[in-house]
Amino acid sequence: MAGRAQTTPSWAFAMLYSKTNWYAKMKMGDTSFMKSRLWNRWNASPVFSLYLKCGAVFSLILMSMLVVACGDTATTTLPQASSGPMPTVTIQMNSNRSVPTLPGFWCGAWAPQTTPSFNKDGDTVVAINAKFVQNINGNPQGVGEATAIATIWWSPKVTQTQTVITTSDGLAVFFFLAKGKEVAPNHNSIVTVQFNKPGVGTCNVEQDRAAFFTLIPPASPTATPCPNNNQCKDNKDNKDNKDNNKDNKDN
């Protein structure tokens, strides 16, 4: 239509006016309109930062949940059933069996020194300990004032007997002199004991439970070799002369 006039939209006039207005303000040195736009963007940035932080925290939590969910899980492997029979344990409770009770009394003997040294001069003393104990309401208590008779076998044919009275705790101590017992060294000697107290009873320490010891003979002195025969001969002569002078003086 040649005769029809074309019209310009209103938004075009507004845009043109706005650009013209900005250009005029910039020409006059007025930059307030730029400050206001930057200020609006600055005010909007904290909101964006907050959204960013929340998103990061949410992503971290989500990843942690995924790691836990996808992690290794403990599995329990049950043993496979074998073709053989299963092992079983059977415990039988027999109420008819009772706990063994302690005897009414018991006794024993021992040597504190099992290898004493033998002295031919009679200084060797052999000590033997023995004890007599009774059962009182399940508690062991020594029997005092009991007669204890000990018999020592220095050899199968040489014996010796000694009698003592027990102390309040049931202890009896014997001392045997080894004087004149030349047959005893290097042989096993034994000691049996018999306890007796009226109202309590008699207890014997027989040979199968006897105290034992072995006398050890002294070691023989060894002669010291003389490096010079003449010197040893002179020493012997001097000793003989001293002995002769001593005999003459005694006469």
How many Cβ atoms are within 10 Å of 143's Cβ, its own excluded?
25
189 occurs within a structural domain: yes
175 occurs within a structural domain: yes
Helix (H, G, I), strand (E, B) or coil at 249: helix
**By residue range, what is the domain housing residue 206?**
105-212
Give the torsion through C-alpha atoms of 40, 43, 48, 50, to 10 deg.
-170
Return the higher-pLDDT residue of 145 and 56.
145
DSSP calls for 184-248: -TTSEEEEEEEEEETTTEEEEE-GGG-EEEE-BPPPPPPPPPPS-HHHHHHHHHHHHHHHHHHHH
170 occurs within a structural domain: yes
Spatial CB neighbours of 118, under 8 Å, sequence gap ≥ 6 = 124, 178, 181, 184, 185, 215, 216, 217, 218
35 occurs within a structural domain: no
Model confidence pLDDT, tens digit, residues 40-93: 555 555 656 677 778 788 888 888 887 777 765 555 555 555 555 666 666 666
CA atoms within 13 A on the CB side of 84: 3
What's this model's pTM, rounded to 2 decimal places?
0.50
Tokens of 132: 């007599």
Model confidence pLDDT, tens digit, residues 167-194: 999 999 999 999 888 888 998 999 999 9
Mean pLDDT over each residue of the chain, to the nearest integer: 76
CA atoms within 13 A on the CB side of 69: 6
Alpha-carbon Rg of the chain, whole angstroms? 59
75 occurs within a structural domain: no
The pair phi, psi for residue 204, each rounded to 5°, is -115, 135
Distance of CA 180 to the CA centre of its chain: 51
Distance of CA 112 to the CA centre of its chain: 30
Q: How many domains does the chain have?
A: 1
36 occurs within a structural domain: no
Model confidence pLDDT, tens digit, residues 112-121: 999 999 987 7
128 occurs within a structural domain: yes
38 occurs within a structural domain: no
Question: Which CATH number characterizes residue 122's domain?
Answer: 2.60.40.10
Q: Is the pLDDT of residue 235 over 90?
A: no
